[in-house]
Amino acid sequence: MVTVVMSSPKISSVNPATGDLLASFRCASELDVQDAVGRARRAQPDWHLLGLRRRIALIREFQKLLNENKAHIARLISQEVGKPYAEALSTEVLVVLDAARFLVENAFALLGDKYLAHGSWMTKSKRGWIRREPLGVIGIISPWNYPFSTPAIEALTALVAGNSVVLKPSEFTSLCALELESLLTRAGTAKDVLQVVLGDGATGTALVSSAIDKVVFTGSVQTGKQVARRAADRLLPTLLELGGKDPMLVLADADVDVASSGALWGAFMNAGQTCLSVERCYVHRKIYDRFVGLCAEKTRRLKIGNGLDSQTDIGPLIHEAQLRLVESHVIDAQARGARVIVGGKRLPELGANFYSPTILIDVSQQMRVMREETFGPVLPIMPFESEEQAVQLANDSEFGLAASVWTRDRRRGEKIAAKIAAGSIMINDVISCYGISEAPHGGVKASGIGRTHGSFGLEEMVGIKYVDSDLLPSLKKLWWYGYGPEFAGYMEQLTDLMFSRRRLKRLRAAVGSVRLVRRKGRL
């Protein structure tokens, strides 16, 4: 079992629905973090030497334990973040179980040595292959909105590749991270291979500044830039997932009933605290009024409350500061001419962190709610006149994480998707691309650098080494020293032999190239 050494100041885990204190911890100091990284460094070589098959077996055991403890884990997620219990199961536990399935089924093939064929006849006497080797110690800084699935997927990927991991979770969700550590320990992770350091931003800064070999950060753009600047001082590789302002494009031929339901789930799931959530909705003018009406009617039927209540659809925001941010976006939009047709207010009768799911119309691109990441249960809806305008509006953002296009014509949707600047585009669905374990997750522009999940996520956790073996070890190579006055002419003939498009010239070059092979005087 990993021992987490901590020192002041303290952090607390609080149930955002009730305000109940769940646990308090002392923050790991800079020295604690350095010690954890040092122990992870010493443990990593043996973990790598354990072998890929045995590490895959550990992932399989972890999957078994997680499935057996799914109810306990989902309840803990709901308590610490506030999301509905059923949502914790479907968007966190189930996603991690499938990510483990992907690694068990594919890690051996993806991480094994790959033969590299040589196209040039000059190198046919060589055999080369690509080796993927662990980077060493991976530092993971994970967010509070998906306190189990995000660190679990990243840690499992790093571990199966032979790395050790030091995980710093959000200061708001320490318990979920410790539960992940417990499951991995029970599954058979060796001592010090996975360590959790608890703390606030200073602890995260200490981890980035420590002797790790790569940092994987999920969080805000502002903090991500700070991580990148600090990492740049020593060329530390980074993987940054920095959120989004994901657009939803509803074309004139879309199924309005289905699209409106998708918009609500995409905007309000996890109380809108999802990097892939629908933060901007653009609807063709022809169906705009009907779409808005359906969204408003369906929103009024949603149940808001404690995530552990089986009737709850939407839980609380994580804390007061996030609620104030969401509230400020709505107030700014109203001041600039937007109208609230549903919601737009706090729900103090339910608790301090509850905000009603909100539909905004008469919005414009200049409003904060259309430009900044809201991260709350707000759905702004804006009409468009043409597909060209819809694409322009979708791309009018500093973010580029994901987007969705809604149409009955799949080919049409795919053509529009090709024009949108985002890391993932879904046709007639939202968010669930994160749960497709084979699919990469990550964005462009201010949404980050690199990819997690799938084969691309595995590639992020390894270094690429090329190994080349010469099959004629006793032969001095044609291009070695001892050039002499005729060598340049021989090389000209050799290039003609290999690349000239004139047959006669290649034939003459072949005769001349024989002299290169017979060349004497090589050192």
The packing angle between helices 487-499 and 503-518, to 10°, is 140
- Is-catalytic flag, 281? no
Q: In 156-224, where do the E strands start and end?
A: 164-168, 194-196, 214-218
Which of 275, 281, 295, 433 does the annotation list as catalytic? Answer: 275
Closest C-alpha among 389, 383, 386 to residue 285: 383
Lookup: tokens for 119: 């196209």
Closest C-alpha among 301, 271, 259, 291 to residue 361: 291
Q: How far apart are CA 202 and CA 194, in angstroms?
A: 20
* Full strand arrangement of the beta sheet holding 238-241: 194-196, 164-168, 137-141, 214-218, 238-241, 448-449
Q: How far apart are CA 258 and CA 280, in angstroms?
A: 17
CA 139 to each of CA 131, 239, 264, 463: distance values in angstroms, whole numbers, following the listed order: 23, 10, 35, 16
Which of 87, 92, 154, 241 does the annotation list as catalytic? Answer: 241
Closest C-alpha among 221, 273, 246, 240 to residue 371: 246
Q: Do the beta carbons of residue 369 and residue 378 sit within 8 Å? A: yes
- Is-catalytic flag, 372? no
Q: How far apart are CA 291 and CA 362, in angstroms?
A: 14
Give the residue numbers annotated as catalytic, written as ranges. Answer: 241, 275
